[in-house]
Structures are given as C-alpha cells and as structure tokens.
Amino acid sequence: MTTAPEAQEQLAEVARLLAQAQRVVVLTGAGISAESGIATFRDARLGYWSQFDPEALASPEGFARDPGLVWRWYMERYRGLLQAQPNRGHQALAALAVNTPQLTLATQNIDDLHERAGSRAVLHLHGSLNSFRCQRCKRPHLLTSDEQHSVTPPSCLTCGALVRPGVVWFGEMLPDGMLQTVWQAARACDLFLVVGTSGVVMPAAALPEVARNAGATVVEVNVTPSEVTSAAHHFLKGKAGAVLPALLELMQHSGHN
C-alpha cells in the first residue's frame, strides 16, 4: 500500500514529467464528471433506472425495441447536464492545455463540461448529448423544451422518422476520422494521462497501452484501479477534482510554465 509521503513523491514526479512533456494526450471518462453531480455510466443504475442495463439502453437495438424508454433515459441525463457545472478537474485540464506545447484531449463523455471549463477541440469519442439527429435522414434536430420533457422521441421535421441523441451507441462506429486522430496522437505523445474511466469499452480502452507500447509514460488518475491500470507507469489514487489541480500546482512550482 502506498503511504502518503510516497504518494506525494509520485505526484511530484508526474508533475515534473508533465512540465517537461512536449506532447500530451488526455483520455477522460465518466469519473471526471462525477464531482459535477453526473452519475458515472456504471453507477447510473439508481432509482427507477436500476432495473435497466445501461449498455442495452445505449444501443440501436434498445432504441428500436423501446424508443420512449431510451429517450426518457437520455432526457434525464440531458436535464441533469443543464444543471451541472464543470469542476476543478475539468478546469485543471483546460489550464494544462495552455501550459503544454501540444495537448490532445479525448473524452468518452457525452457531456460538454470540458468545453464549458475552457478546453478547445475536444475529441468526443462517443458523440455528444448536445446534438440530436434524425435516425433515418441524419439531419440535425434542434431540441425544444417540450421535447426535453416528452416521453417519446420527437419526429424529424423533414422526413418524419424518429430523432435520436447524437451519441455513439454500442455496436456503432466512432465519428469519422476521430479514432485515427487520437490513435496517432497516442502513438506520438510523451505522456498519456487517463482519468476516471473503468477502461472496459473498446476502442478507447486500448489507447493507454497503444501509448505505452510506443514509448510514452502512462499516468492514471482514478479513485480505484481499473482495467487500464496495468498499462499505467504511475497510478495516482484520488478524485480527479483533487489530483489534477494538485498536479497543476506542482507543475507551476517546478518553474516550467
């Protein structure tokens, strides 16, 4: 077990590596938004929703089987997101980008809290809950406030088919070119930072190992070990909202930015 002074030393070492890195890739998962009050994907089995499997809801089959159920699930998350604010973890990553020559931020999250904290050019590997489109003709759909509370999905104003969230469902491809971009960035970076993901969903979960095999130092921040911990050189145990600001502060004191 790591003692507090050892953890402090490891934090300082990672801060030093970050301050020296030219190319950094950050991959975030639901854990970074947990402190903003958004339930993580695998903890979201609360209350009424506990009787449903989130992976079954987040699928084309789930939507075909019961569009209303899937719509209500996403609308609950959508309304939650409207109330949520970015936390210190999101803010620290936005600041890190300013202090790093080249930083690529990829997220599996469908929220926009990174952008609201000031991050730019965020790669949303699993799409976005702020966009909606027709499931047939794919035209974007602007959500009305009535539709946010509707128990069934709206219909496309052009072709009449059902409107769906602009997210990536299980069994679907990632947005065009995005995987190649983040894969290349992972292969070319000095330091790969993975934050708050259980690391069970491919292809995102493969990225830490891709980076490690290409020679990068891999650092993980999580409250508990995950499926990608074996790829990490440094495991920083703790909440993203505490560990990331601490890293940034140590970086600033190391005089490299």
Residues in region 92-121 near ligand OAD by CB under 6 A: 108
Per-residue x/- marks for ligand OAD, 215-234, CB under 6 A? Answer: ------xxxx-x--------
Residues in region 14-73 near ligand OAD by CB under 6 A: 29-31, 34-35, 40-43, 55, 58
User: Shortest approach of ligand OAD to residue 109 CB, angstroms?
Assistant: 6
**Of the two residues 153 and 199, which places its CB atom closer to ligand OAD in the complex?**
199
**Of the two residues 88 and 141, which places its CB atom closer to ligand OAD in the complex?**
88
Parallel, antiparallel, or unpaired for β 123-124 and 102-107? parallel
26 touches 185 (CB < 8 A): no
Give the whole-angstrom CA distance, residue 65 versus residue 70. 9
**Which entry of 114, 124, 126, 141 is annotated as an active-site residue?**
126
**Of the two residues 23 and 60, which places its CB atom closer to ligand OAD in the complex?**
60
User: Does residue 126 carry a catalytic annotation?
Assistant: yes
Question: Helix H segments across the chain?
Answer: 4-20, 31-34, 54-57, 60-65, 67-83, 88-98, 113-116, 145-149, 178-188, 207-213, 240-253
Give the whole-angstrom CA distance, residue 196 versus residue 186. 17
**Six-digit token pair at 126?**
């699993």
**Of the two residues 51 and 215, which places its CB atom closer to ligand OAD in the complex?**
51
244 touches 9 (CB < 8 A): no
210 belongs to the binding site for ligand OAD (CB under 6 A): no
Give the whole-angstrom CA distance, residue 243 versus residue 89. 8
Binding residues for ligand OAD, per CB under 6 A?
29-31, 34-35, 40-43, 55, 58, 108, 126, 168, 170, 196-198, 201, 221-224, 226, 239-240
